[in-house]
């Protein structure tokens, strides 16, 4: 299958595209492994939707349910905001989580994110719409909290 717009071709993903696609999609996204068992994948994290012109990005993280409660999400999210502000020169990092997921919101709050509001019926899961909580941290917040 091949789709076209006036100027673009849309092609289904193929293995041979990996060398072209990988540098783009992996700019600030990482797989997470523990140092104690470096072959065991436990999740992923990253800064996504990076806007260089607006100097902002969204933080994303996922930790395997079997690894919850060990502080991995907090550790990796804290590292990623430092990476975003110090290495990528971002001004703002925001995060979204399901309103019914207080653990994810707590991770963001622990590392300095501030609640901005609720995005009502922002995503549809199955037949139901769900609210998302929106939080963010600014470079100035980061510098004050982390003494940078």
Give a yes or no: residue 74 inside a domain.
Answer: yes
**Domain count along the chain:** 1
pTM: 0.80
- Give the pLDDT score at 118: 98
By the 10 Å C-beta count (0-12 exposed, 13-18 middle, 19+ buried), 15 is classed as exposed
The C-alpha atoms of residue 44 and residue 76 are separated, in whole angstroms, by 9
Give me the CATH number covering residue 60: 3.40.630.30
Domain that holds residue 104: 20-146
CA angle 48, 72, 147 (to 5 degrees): 75
69's tokens: 């409660």
Do the domain assignments include residue 33?
A: yes
Chunked mean pLDDT (size 10), the chain, 148 residues: 66 71 61 83 88 94 91 92 94 97 96 98 94 98 94
Q: Give the CB-side neighbour count of residue 49, counting CA atoms within 13 A.
A: 10
For residue 82, tell me if it sits in a domain: yes
Q: Which of 98, 103, 111 is nearest to 65 (CA)?
A: 103
Domain assignment of residue 80, yes or no: yes
pLDDT at position 15 = 74
């Amino acid at each position: 299958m091949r789709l076209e717009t006036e100027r673009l071709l849309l092609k289904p993903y193929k293995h041979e595209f990996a060398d072209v696609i990988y540098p783009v999609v992996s700019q600030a996204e990482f797989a997470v492994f523990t140092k104690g068992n470096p072959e065991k994948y436990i999740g992923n994290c990253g800064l996504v939707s990076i806007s260089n012109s607006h100097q902002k990005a969204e933080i994303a993280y996922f930790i395997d349910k079997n690894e919850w409660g060990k502080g991995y999400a907090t550790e990796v999210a804290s590292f990623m905001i430092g990476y975003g502000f110090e290495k990528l020169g971002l001004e703002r990092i925001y995060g979204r989580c399901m309103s019914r997921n207080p653990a994810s919101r707590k991770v963001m709050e622990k590392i300095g994110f501030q609640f901005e509001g609720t995005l009502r019926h922002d995503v549809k899961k199955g037949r139901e719409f769900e609210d998302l909580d929106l939080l963010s941290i600014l470079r100035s917040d980061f510098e004050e909290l982390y003494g940078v």
